A and B are shown apart, each in its own frame.
Chain A
């Protein structure tokens, strides 16, 4: 399947620093692709390069096989959902959604298309509201509708959940994923929240200091991270003798396990009650701190207890560096 969006060796230098450094990736039609990384890693700049708000210093950007890096934003078939939604405050929801359709020749089926997308994002009955009369979730859906009505090749979403109330985020996240499946448009989702990225994405590119560290499915990235950065950005890691083991992969028992599994002797320092599980802070015989998370039912440890830590060899995260 041909890629809808492709970046080839794209770099963006600002005076004094390189925001995006030799970034390349492809996103096929219908994929939900995420750019994940800490703030300042270049993910938002990458999105702005694709949207056309910035131009790359070097490199090429292709949309449906056509190079677009020299086109202004209004000539690119991509659309952006902004972090703060950037709904036009002086226009109603309907006028906001119609804005893009009214640019050139007004399409004859404008009303039908607008009605369809309003239905799609469940804003029926709220078409005549102004942005300041709407809740955060409604604003987000209005912003989505405004972009989706143009049937863009790629929809760019810049931290679209960060402006929402934390207890609303999970719900909206699921809705967003369902919506993407239904419209079948490629979504490029920018976020710093690894849980968010892992739960919604088909594939994720993890970025650090302007570079892509690794691209893969959520499962690949979490279970087979290629760099220490990816491993530790996606979750907790214990560093033991040069390889990593995630806390939930570690088993804890009073007696030495049967067989030839990798094992370390350790002492419990603290047991932290986390509700659904217990976090055990331990110190191994070699002096390294090791954290293990075990089901609540397993755990009857208290500080000072000597224990054995063990795990499956396939759970070891090993890196070339």
Chain B
């Protein structure tokens, strides 16, 4: 027991833990360059990447996913950042409660309840499921992330700055626009990047509220994965991971920069 708990093993353990987190992804990425269709290394090749780019179903699904993620991100960032600002100086417990509710509701429950909601209304409106329902669903679940990221930043901000602006003759809107917004902008961008990745990656909710002809990339990936071995999927996974990973890194860097001293007078 004593030996096992010796703290000098900690770095070794950590290396193992990081390997556990990253090895499956690295192996997947490595095999995306394998010229063989099977899980045996035969030589370097870009054929699965070429196949991925040539696939019209994939490119259509990617286009859908991008349209959905861009639209949902812009709207949910605007709505969520405004909400965070509104909650900053005077908390509204009910609204904040609903924000937390959206975060803790299991995805599957969010998905089926949105499906039930759309179907119930569309029966009267003669409308159908499609890209627009997916966009609405994505706004619904990503607003909460934006609210929390931006609110966390606002809480480190000196409320006197806005008072100083009002005192110097700025209207409340000018005070927000010229004093508060520039300070929280990195956090707003960070939140938008997170909302984008969450939206781009979602399968569970999307698959329930997407209509015929509005397949997204995760839906295609899911279908392919259930069908069996598919090296095109490996290539696709590597590209998505790299792309979204870059967005997450930028988002993290923006959040950290806002936290460093000197960026704010206290």
**Footprint of B on A, CB under 8 Å?**
51-53, 72-74, 78-80, 82, 84-90, 99-100, 103-104, 131-132, 139, 146-147, 150
Instruction: Give Cα A51 to B265, complex, Å.
Output: 22
- Judge whether B158 and A74 touch: CB under 8 Å: no
Q: State which of B164, B167, B169, B266 has its C-beta within 8 Å of the C-beta of A88.
A: B164
Given A53-B163, A84-B158, A99-B165, the answer on whether A74 and B265 have CB atoms closer than 8 Å is no
Residues of chain B from 8 to 36 with CB closer than 8 A to chain A in the complex: none
User: Nearest Cβ distance between residue A96 and chain B, in whole angstroms?
Assistant: 9
Chain A: which residue is nearest B171 at the CB level?
A74
Q: Which range holds the interface residue count of chain B? A: 20 to 34
- Judge whether A73 and B160 touch: CB under 8 Å: no
Given A74-B171, A82-B160, A103-B174, the answer on whether A87 and B265 have CB atoms closer than 8 Å is yes
- With A51-B163, A53-B167, A90-B183 known, 8 other A-B pairs at CB within 8 A are A53-B166, A72-B166, A73-B166, A73-B167, A86-B160, A104-B169, A132-B262, A147-B167
Residues of chain B from 131 to 164 with CB closer than 8 A to chain A in the complex: 158, 160-161, 163-164
- Judge whether A73 and B163 touch: CB under 8 Å: yes
B182 within 8 A of A: yes
Number of A-B contacts (CB under 8 A): 73
Instruction: Give Cα A180 to B252, complex, Å.
Output: 48
User: Nearest Cβ distance between residue A176 and chain B, in whole angstroms?
Assistant: 19
Chain A: which residue is nearest B266 at the CB level?
A84
27 A-B pairs with CB atoms under 8 Å apart are A51-B163, A53-B167, A72-B172, A73-B163, A73-B166, A74-B167, A74-B170, A78-B167, A80-B164, A82-B160, A82-B163, A84-B158, A84-B160, A84-B265, A86-B158, A86-B160, A86-B161, A86-B163, A87-B164, A88-B164, A89-B264, A89-B265, A99-B165, A99-B178, A132-B263, A132-B264, A147-B167
Chain B residues with Cβ under 8 A from A52's Cβ?
166-167
Instruction: State the 4 A-B residue pairs at the shortest beta-carbon distance, nearest first.
Output: A100-B168, A103-B169, A86-B164, A86-B160
B240 within 8 A of A: no
B254 within 8 A of A: no
B179 within 8 A of A: yes
Chain A: which residue is nearest B166 at the CB level?
A73
Given A90-B182, A99-B170, A103-B170, the answer on whether A132 and B265 have CB atoms closer than 8 Å is yes
Most buried by A among B165, B183, B265: B265
Instruction: Give Cα A146 to B167, complex, Å.
Output: 11
Q: State which of A80, A85, A104 has its C-beta within 8 Å of the C-beta of B167.
A: A80
Chain B: which residue is nearest A139 at the CB level?
B265
Chain A: which residue is nearest B161 at the CB level?
A86
- Judge whether B168 and A82 touch: CB under 8 Å: no
Interface 1/0 per residue, B218-260 and A, CB below 8 Å: 0000000000000000000000000000000000000000000
